[in-house]
Structure formats: C-alpha cells, structure tokens
C-alpha cells in the first residue's frame, strides 16, 4: 500500500505568533525547525509511509526538509492552508499515492506508533480517519484514501467540517482519540506543558541511569 504524508509549514517569520508572549521570533523559528525535524524523522522511519512532502513558501523550511531527504514543494498560496494542501495532494497523486496522511509539524509527543495506529488497519476503498486537536474542534491528523477524495476544510471547526466532507463523498469515517497526536504547541500554556514534559523526561532518565 503506497501511503504518502504531507507536512505543511507556514513561513517561519509568522509562525506561532500566539507564543510571542513567551518566545522571541528567533526562538519560535528554532522551535518550529526542531519540531519539524523530529516529525520528518519519525515519518522517514515509519514503514507505513513511503514518501513525505513538505510544502511551504519559506526557503529555509524547504532547505531543512531537503536535508531530511523528503520531497519539497514551493507553496503557491502562502495565506491559504487548504489550497496549499490541495497543491501538494496533486503531487502525491502524480506519483501514484493510494493513501495520504496530513500532519502538522508541531506535534512534540508524536511517535511512530501513533502514525501506525492511524494507518495500519483494514482498508476500504474510500476511507477517512481523523485525530482531533486537544480541544476536540480542530484536526491534528487526517488520513485519506484515496488522495484528492475530499476538500480540505482546515480552519475554524475543521473536525466537524471534515466529518461532513467524509459523509458527502460516502467515505468510511473514523475519529480516533490519540493524546500524543492531539497535543500541539499553539498557546503559551502548551509551551509550558511541553517544558514540563521535557523536565519530567530528563528526571526519569537521570533516575534510570543513577
């Protein structure tokens, strides 16, 4: 089964603006690059993803992705996520992708096992799987089979809008609750939680090897 992944990334100068109270512009850029590198490494290691595309209008993002060995696409519509995803989806279809996973770059707790849980189950010919965000209104992961089957509806209330799209096209729909996938870093409280997770992990490592 030929599954591809798409990771869209905003221009780093404007990314994560809601973290401006706790992080400088340079620190936000560094955070996104670190999270993107981690996400791409996980996708590269997954046996369920054949190829990954990063789409962005930020040259530094595309250069970073290229060094990770993934496909890169220069975004035509930098202000429209859904148009950018449609653009990248057409590329995957050109290469014969049968399934498509859309993931953001900012999922710091994502694991390979999470990717496998979303993808590695029985397939139907028309399938949509969604993992919501931590608030239960957004979409943090979207798996589509076949690619191009539904219109992307990222933005306000994207979970309910994607569910409606799945029904419209007659796809088999699943909504999974996966805590690692639901957690993203958008708000200052998210960043503080991420720091707490990092501190706890370091303490556990010290205790394990102490």
Could you say which architecture CATH assigns to the domain 3-183?
Alpha-Beta Complex (3.90)
* Residue 181 confidence (pLDDT) above 50: yes
User: Structural domain boundaries of the chain?
Assistant: 3-183
Taking the whole predicted model, whether its pTM rises above 0.85 is answered as yes
24-32, long-range: CB within 8 Å, 24+ apart, which pairs? 31/185, 32/105, 32/106
Over the stretch 91-139, which tens digit does the pLDDT of each residue have? 999 999 999 999 999 999 999 999 999 997 767 889 999 999 999 999 9
CB 77 within 8 A of CB 56: no
Residue 157: pLDDT band (50, 70, 90) is: very high
* Residue 45 confidence (pLDDT) above 90: yes
């Amino acid at each position: 089964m030929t599954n591809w992944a798409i990771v869209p990334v905003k221009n780093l100068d404007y990314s994560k603006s809601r973290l401006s109270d706790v992080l400088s512009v340079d620190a936000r850029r560094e955070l996104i690059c670190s999270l993107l590198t981690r996400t791409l490494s996980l996708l590269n290691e997954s046996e369920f993803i054949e190829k990954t595309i990063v789409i962005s209008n930020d040259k530094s993002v595309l250069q970073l992705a290229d060094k990770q060995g993934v496909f890169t696409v220069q975004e035509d519509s930098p202000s429209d996520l859904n148009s950018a995803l449609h653009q990248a989806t057409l590329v995957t279809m050109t290469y014969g992708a049968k399934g498509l996973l859309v993931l953001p770059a900012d999922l710091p707790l994502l694991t390979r096992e999470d990717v496998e849980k979303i993808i590695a189950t029985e397939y139907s010919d028309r399938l949509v799987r969604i993992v919501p965000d931590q608030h239960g209104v957004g979409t943090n992961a979207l798996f589509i089979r076949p690619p191009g089957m539904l219109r992307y509806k990222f933005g306000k209330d994207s979970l309910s809008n994607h569910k409606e799209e799945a029904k419209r096209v007659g796809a088999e729909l699943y909504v999974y609750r996966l805590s690692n996938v639901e957690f993203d870093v958008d708000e200052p409280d998210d960043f503080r939680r991420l720091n707490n997770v990092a501190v706890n992990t370091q303490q556990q490592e010290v205790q394990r090897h102490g």
